[in-house]
Amino acid sequence: MTIDLAQITADTLALSRDLIQRPSVTPKDEGCQALMIERLEAIGFTVKKLRFGDVDNFWATHGQSQPRLVFAGHTDVVPTGDVDEWTDPPFDALVKDGFLYGRGSADMKGSLAAMVTACERFVKHNPNHQGTIGFLITSDEEGPATNGTVKVVQYLQDNNIPMDWCIVGEPSSTEHPGDIIKNGRRGSLGAVMTIQGKQGHVAYPHLAKNPIHLAAPALAELSQQTWDQGNEYFPPTSFQISNIHSGTGATNVIPGKIEVVFNFRFSTESDQASLEARTNKILDQHGLDYHIEWNLSGLPFLTEPGELVKAAQHAIKKTNGISTELSTAGGTSDGRFIAPTGTQVIEIGPVNSTIHQVDECVKVTDLGEVSSIYEIMLEQLLPTKA
């Protein structure tokens, strides 16, 4: 296959700009999915629109058999913040000095455009390809993530539609497209803990119980724990306190309670039950009167090197000559909802250095490289039938 990166880049840039100019701040879609659907239907995709609550989603397929290679992504973007802090309006999708600027350019409308243009080229040259190409698109990734991918995955399971491989278009790269492949993610277990004391006057501490003083030794012990050693794919599990709140606002009042917000980012060496049990044991040893509300927002997942990873490595090497690195670092993604079905999941996308920032941008040539990587992976995994 001859790679015309200049033409691939021009086509992908044009669609990226069209998507960015639609201000789809989560959970709004603002017509992004309609644009994608129009392009996909034009090359023979069958589309099922799936709206749950206030969230637009769609499932699109080309082909009817296994294996299924699915592109997953989101059309919603995070809020812009103060637009006056942006050099240019965040939804103007301006190109300057070789970069495309705008909210969502890197996270992840550039990837969505790359997926569509890659499929347009692939289907044109391989109309009778093996297996099925799928698109699982939501507008709820940057928000609560309750009516998006998780609901579409349930729909697929209810209709006995398995996925074999999934490419999530999250911006995974650090310097060049494909230098990092996310082949897994850590789990995320959050908690809001309330520790009770007894309110009183600071001049009479013997008549009160200061919950801040009571909590401090336990919090120190929690922060110093080794929860696990990690493994060859994951760093050790981390415990981080993100907020502590107490007091009435008066300097002469011992508060009656303290609220502590904390989070575990955990590897496959730990699980929710063991982390909760060890936390409770430490708190009990300190004799605290406490209550915890736990929130599991994602389990850890891992795609070990296999067909999908090898196809990605080959595609990246052929596109830009880079030898990629596997990583499970970073936050959560919608891959956490897809991997538990048994699907091999990896994340490949543009450079992530400006995501969620003022003046978010992506290098224009990177758009073409990402699209090329996706197309070559299609060639590897779903070649034309003999």
Positions annotated as catalytic residues are 76, 141
Neighbouring residues of 206: CB distance < 8 A, sequence distance ≥ 6: none
Sign of CA dihedral 269, 271, 277, 283: positive
8-state DSSP, 106:
I
Q: Report the distance separating Cα 371 and Cα 196, nearest Å.
A: 55
Buried (b) or exposed (e) across 310-339, using 16+ Cβ within 10 A?
ebbbbbbeebbebebebbbebebbbbbbbb
HSE (side-chain half, CA atoms, 13 Å) at 344: 17
Q: Where are the beta strands (DSSP E) in 145-186?
A: 165-168, 180-182, 184-185
Instruction: Find the DSSP H helices in the chain.
Output: 5-20, 32-42, 110-125, 149-158, 211-223, 272-285, 307-320, 335-338, 364-381
Q: Which of 93, 86, 142 is nearest to 113 (CA)?
A: 93
CB neighbourhood size of 60 (10 A): 22
CB neighbourhood size of 356 (10 A): 14
Q: Which amino acid is at 243?
A: N
CB neighbourhood size of 218 (10 A): 21
